[in-house]
Amino acid sequence: MGGVLHCESVPLPEIARRFGTPCYVYSAAALDEAWREFRAALAGRDALVCYAVKANSNLAILARFARLGAGFDIVSGGELARVQASGGDCSRVVFSGVGKSEGELRQALETGILCFNVESAAELSRIERVAEAARRPAPIALRVNPDVDPLTHPYISTGLRTNKFGVPIEEAAELYLHASRSPHLRVIGIACHIGSQLLDPAPMLEASGKVLDFVLRLERDGIRLEHIDLGGGLGIRYREETPPPIAEFLAPVAALFAQRPERLLFEPGRRLVGNAGVLLTRVEYLKPGAKRSFAVVDAAMNDLVRPALYDAWHDIAAVAPRPGPAAVYDIVGPVCESGDFLGTARTLALAEGDLLAVMSAGAYGMSMSSNYNTRPRPAEVLVEGGAVRLVRRRETLADLLGPEQAPDETGISEP
Ligand SMILES: *Cc1c(COP(=O)(O)O)cnc(C)c1O
């Protein structure tokens, strides 16, 4: 097809022409395929896959997973509102996060979510108070911290004793006892999430073993659970990683719990959306140099912060590769920070105006974007076969300036 990159059957240059750049482009087929792989790995087992909304919270993506029967893992009242707006089933929502506000707890309780994944003793007492006031018992699981090294980047590991997440497993027993005696709490589960971009199934299995031991102990104390939530974190390929198939993570875990009646929950984010999206960007300027050459593109760290934040690698491909000599470029954005790069030392043949695709940008791309440098955020489109749907229009300057007000000349506002 003329050597031009496509998303499904749509040439990327056509998307750039219609919607401009920078632009996030998602493939519906890739989303569906990742979902099917999860379901297939759990076939025959009572299990609920709760998509981690923070990975990509676009309403069209949530609606797609909702239609496929997904639950959702949320970390804020805002994400709960998104699940509702997308037609998601709130009775399949688990609420994670270390800092749930009283308002968020009330909102989620009234909405009738499946479960609060409680991250501390202090949060447990707050939930108890909110539930008492609302006269509605709150369904809870404790998120335990199994102290397992996920063997991933330190910024995205969450299950070590040194992380802020979860309750140490040895403190959890007492909290479970307390919760089980409270008329305002319904103890229904246990949760655990050890980190992100896992490439080895062993740590997840090791954590699951610790969770199983603990579930048996709770049972001896007379506490029975309805579900066991083993979190997300399954890794994807960004560069040369070879992430095992989803079944290699989930099948051993399911086997471990084969004799248990509890429903199994998982909370994948990245694995469902990461490889389903690219960030489409255009070369604004080439800036050759003696030491280093730069390709300045129209996407920046505000649009995709992972390289700047985690030193993450994304492949960057020319949308219409051109013949001629390649050079080594740092691919940088217009933002005034030295950390504003999408990739360093990439060998490409480029000219001004060329389109580039930043690959594997479907997870933690748009959802982590900002307006830094007063840059309107990109458009998002969802491709299905030959059809392209705009699922978030490009922001305008009016969107950015709207909420603000400059004081009048005296700086004193009228009462
Ligand atoms: C972020 C997060 C997830 C999803 O992580 P992925 O690496 O995107 O799969 C799941 N559960 C919790 C509690 C999280 O914080």
- pLDDT at residue 159 in the model: 61
Do 253 and 186 reside in the same domain of the chain? yes
Whether residue 309 lies inside any domain: the answer is: yes
Q: Which atom of ligand 1 is the closest one to the Cα of 196?
A: 7
Pocket test for ligand 1, best of 157, 193, 271 (most atoms within 8 A of CB): 193
- pLDDT at residue 2 in the model: 57
Which whole number is the average pLDDT over 166-194?
96
54 CA to centre of ligand 1 in angstroms: 8
Selecting among 7, 23, 90, 336, the annotated active-site residue is 336
Do 147 and 256 reside in the same domain of the chain? yes
Q: Residue 123 is part of which domain span?
A: 28-270
CA dihedral sign of residues 175, 181, 186, 190 = positive
Whether residue 413 lies inside any domain: the answer is: no
Do 175 and 288 reside in the same domain of the chain? no
Do 15 and 101 reside in the same domain of the chain? no
Provide the CATH number for the domain around residue 148: 3.20.20.10
- pLDDT at residue 158 in the model: 65
Which whole number is the average pLDDT over 202-206?
96
Provide the CATH number for the domain around residue 362: 2.40.37.10
pLDDT tens across 279-304, in order?
A: 999 999 999 999 999 999 999 999 99
pLDDT tens across 376-415, in order?
A: 999 999 999 999 999 999 999 999 999 999 887 666 655 5
pLDDT tens across 225-245, in order?
A: 999 999 999 999 999 999 999
Whether residue 241 lies inside any domain: the answer is: yes
121 CA to centre of ligand 1 in angstroms: 21
Given 270, 286, 304, the domain boundary residue is 270
pLDDT tens across 6-58, in order?
A: 999 999 999 999 999 999 999 999 999 999 999 999 999 999 999 999 999 99
Do 100 and 236 reside in the same domain of the chain? yes
For residue 387, what are its two tokens? 């059809």
234 CA to centre of ligand 1 in angstroms: 9
For residue 298, what are its two tokens? 């129209």
pLDDT tens across 316-338, in order?
A: 999 999 998 999 999 999 999 98
- Residue 336 known to be catalytic: yes
196 CA to centre of ligand 1 in angstroms: 6
Whether residue 255 lies inside any domain: the answer is: yes
pLDDT(1) > 50:
no
pLDDT(163) > 80:
no
Given 270, 289, 317, the domain boundary residue is 270
Whether residue 412 lies inside any domain: the answer is: no
Number of domains the chain is built from: 2
Q: Which atom of ligand 1 is the closest one to the Cα of 198?
A: 7
CA 275 – CA 346 distance, rounded (Å): 20
